[in-house]
Amino acid sequence: MIKPTVQRIGDDRLGLRVDDPRSAQLIASRLRDKPNLTEVVAGMDSVVVAFDPFNLAAEAVEAVLVEAASFDDTGGTGDHATLDIAVSYGGVDGPDFNLVCDQTGLSADALIARHTAPLYCVDMIGFTPGFAYCGGLDPDLAVPRLAQPRVRIPAGSIGLSGTQTGIYALDGPGGWPIIGRTNQTLFDANSDTPFKILPGMNLRFQPA
């Protein structure tokens, strides 16, 4: 078995590269109740843990990570609920819609058709509370991040980058080209389930 590569990050974190978002979520969930790990965060193809360096040596944490990554899991029961998201494409709600048309060579109608066709899967929540990274994007819609990220993107904005589409649940900065926006509430601090979109859910977009 090839030992997974663990990377030291700063003085109080370690990172592990994994194959895919599902592996990242599985490994992260195994690590979450370990003592002295203060944060366990799943990325798209990595897991990073923060540890208490006053109580643990990096080597000890590395061993815990390697163990958590070392067995296969092909089963699993994620949440398969499907959420429909109504999107206003282009114009003020999609400031990079035309840019993405140019980059992909698609007409406005074709871009909307291709973005609304798939059933997406939520790979990861991150970036800001409730931001959902969704896999299943049509490969012809692959575009790079903005060279200069925006300082403020309105809540509900929907962007694209590489193989994913993403929904910004709150106002905040962002580096993804924005093609549209939804009015639906995606984060509610007063609710028992503040985050409306969770890893493992399925999503479909519809033109508003």
Partner 1 sequence: MSLIVLTSGIQTTLQGRPRGGYRHMGVPLSGPADPLSLALANRLVGNAPHATGLEITLGGFSCRVETSISVALTGAPGQIHVNGAPRAAHKTLHLSPGDTIAVDPPRVGMRTYLAVAGAIAADEMLGSPSTYLPASLGGHHGRALRAGDSLVLLNPHRAPDTETPEHLRPSFSHSWALRACVGAEHGDLSAESASRLWSDTFTATRQSDRMGLRLAVDPLHLSSDGCMKSVPVFPGTLQCPEGGEPILLGVDAQTTGGYPRIAEIARCDLHLIGQIRPGDHVRFLRRSPDSALDALRQKTELISNWTSAGVL
Comparing C-alpha atoms, which of 73, 82, 81 is closest to residue 20?
Answer: 73
56 near partner 1 (CB under 8 A): no
Determine the size of the site formed for partner 1 (CB under 8 A): 52
Task: State which of residues 46, 157, 165, 182 lies at the interface with partner 1 (CB under 8 A).
Answer: 46
34 near partner 1 (CB under 8 A): no
User: Which ranges of the chain would DSSP assign to H, the alpha helix?
Assistant: 21-31, 58-68, 97-104, 108-116
Q: What is the DSSP string of 75-132?
A: -------EEEEEEEESGGG-TTHHHHHHHHT--HHHHHHHHHSS-EEEEEE-SSTT-E
40 near partner 1 (CB under 8 A): yes
Task: State which of residues 4, 53, 78, 200 lies at the interface with partner 1 (CB under 8 A).
Answer: 53
Comparing C-alpha atoms, which of 190, 194, 146 is closest to residue 166?
Answer: 146
Task: State which of residues 5, 67, 71, 173 lies at the interface with partner 1 (CB under 8 A).
Answer: 173
Comparing C-alpha atoms, which of 115, 119, 117 is closest to residue 106?
Answer: 115
CB of 176 to partner 1, least distance (A): 8
CB of 45 to partner 1, least distance (A): 5
CA–CA distance from 17 to each of 9, 28, 74, 153, 170 (Å)?
Answer: 12, 12, 18, 30, 28
Residue 111's CB: how many other CB atoms inside 10 A? 25
- Please, which of residues 57-76 interact with partner 1 by CB under 8 A? 58
130 near partner 1 (CB under 8 A): yes
- Please, which of residues 110-129 interact with partner 1 by CB under 8 A? 124-129
CB of 109 to partner 1, least distance (A): 26
Residues that bind partner 1 (CB under 8 A): 7-13, 15, 28, 32, 38-48, 50, 53-54, 58, 124-131, 133, 142, 144-145, 147-149, 151, 161-162, 169-173, 175, 187, 189, 195
